[in-house]
Amino acid sequence: MSVVLLSHRLYEDGMRMLEREAKTIVADSSDLRQNLALAGQADAIVLRVGRIDRELMASCPNLRVISRPGVGIDTVDVAAATESGIPVVIAPGANLRSVAEHAVALIYAIGKNVCESHARTAGGDFGIRNKYAAVELAGKRVGIVGFGNIGRETARICRNNDMEVSVYDPFIPERAQTQGYRREKELAALLASCDIVSLHMPATAETRKMFGASQFAAMKPGAFLINCARGEIVDEDALFDALSSKRLAGAAVDVMADEPMKKENRLFSLPNFIATPHMAALTRESAARTSTLTAEGTLAVLRGEHWPHVANPAVYRHPRWQNGSPPAGA
């Protein structure tokens, strides 16, 4: 029976599927290198939180598949996996609606000053209502940076709620044009014209700290920043300066550079900053879809099948896969 090591438990739908066909071990750790003996047993690793690099893969002689319950692969050395003939299973589309809804929820939460108003009201300050920090969102322009599946769904919901939408994505500009949104060819033009900027791009070498002091300075004064993508995209020191100086009216994020998020982070001292714990995809419905698709893909690869939803389809040209199912430890 194959051994599946999980950094953390999947939602029950996926767990039940794995447990029926494999021996499952839950590490409850975002650093699998803390227990290399455990990792060394694994035929499959399902990584919810943490990183898998070339060194860790080399310590896992039986490893045949790495799975990510979502589409983010910045925590996996995909090139090293491909070189070793290890498919990196992903779950595309399973969480896009939930993440898009969360992004829009954050737009409303920060735009209506919900969190500060709750905290101050709970503390006996009914007068917080007179701060007039809330804005009316109908007619406001939302800038979508990154027009993949989640960015497109976020744009659609915003437009259906009477917001105007601009899009910046140098890789797929035609989609914005065909769907009736304003396409900006330059990021600076979007930043200068939008009341809200929502980030929906992966973390890559090109996008890490893509939003820093110069980008915040280029944003419309009093604009809001939303980030449901990856924490590494934002320079948090620059964000603190932009928020504390009131250059930006507020920021609402589901991701931060250091996760699990640390309460000592000085951003939490600001009343115009709110964060949720990387939970945008964790609705019951999305978790059921994502965990099931992740489990299905993991088990399929362990059976030697060419599962289509992988981040590295070129892996199937690796010698390990040329003669059908690769044996354990091949």
Instruction: State the pTM of this model.
Output: 0.84
| C-alpha to C-alpha distance for 129 and 113, rounded to whole angstroms | 10
Which residue among the candidates 141, 230, 289, 309 is catalytic per the annotation? 230
Q: How far from 198 is each of 152, 223, 255, 262, 265, CA to CA, in Å?
A: 11, 11, 13, 23, 22
| C-alpha to C-alpha distance for 44 and 329, rounded to whole angstroms | 11
* Closest to 274 in 3D by CA, of 112, 159, 163: 112
Q: What is the pLDDT of residues 46-78, one digit of tens each?
A: 999 889 999 999 999 999 999 999 888 989 999
| C-alpha to C-alpha distance for 83 and 319, rounded to whole angstroms | 10
Helix, coil or strand: residue 45:
strand
Do 3-94+284-321 and 96-275 show the same overall fold?
yes
**230 part of the active site:** yes
Output the average pLDDT for the chain. Answer: 94
* Closest to 273 in 3D by CA, of 243, 295, 297, 231: 243
How do the domains of the chain map onto residue ranges? 3-94+284-321, 96-275
Tell me: pLDDT of 160 over 70. Answer: yes
Tell me: pLDDT of 177 over 70. Answer: no
Q: What is the pLDDT of residues 71-115, one digit of tens each?
A: 889 899 999 999 999 999 999 999 999 999 999 999 999 999 999
Tell me: pLDDT of 328 over 70. Answer: no
**8 part of the active site:** no
Q: How many CB atoms lie within 10 A of CB 278?
A: 19
Tell me: pLDDT of 288 over 90. Answer: yes
CATH 3.40.50.720, domain 96-275, yes or no: yes
Going by pLDDT thresholds of 50, 70 and 90, the confidence category of residue 325 is low
Which residue among the candidates 33, 83, 259, 306 is catalytic per the annotation? 259
Is-contact 301 4, C-beta < 8 A?
Answer: no
**259 part of the active site:** yes
Going by pLDDT thresholds of 50, 70 and 90, the confidence category of residue 38 is confident
Which residue among the candidates 48, 200, 278, 289 is catalytic per the annotation? 278
Going by pLDDT thresholds of 50, 70 and 90, the confidence category of residue 36 is confident
User: With the C-alpha atoms ordered 120, 125, 129, 130, is the resulting torsion angle positive or negative?
Assistant: negative
The pLDDT score that the predictor gives to residue 16 is: 97
97-101, 204-208, 216-220, 249-253: segment of lowest average pLDDT: 204-208
Pairing of strands 164-168, 65-67: unpaired
Is-contact 67 44, C-beta < 8 A?
Answer: yes
Q: How many CB atoms lie within 10 A of CB 279?
A: 13
What CATH fold (topology level) applies to the domain 3-94+284-321? Rossmann fold (3.40.50)
Q: Which residues contact 229 (CB under 8 A, 6 or more apart)?
A: 146, 199, 200, 201, 202, 203, 255
225-238: string of b/e by CB count within 10 Å (b at 16+)?
Answer: bbbbbbbbbbbbeb
The pLDDT score that the predictor gives to residue 20 is: 97
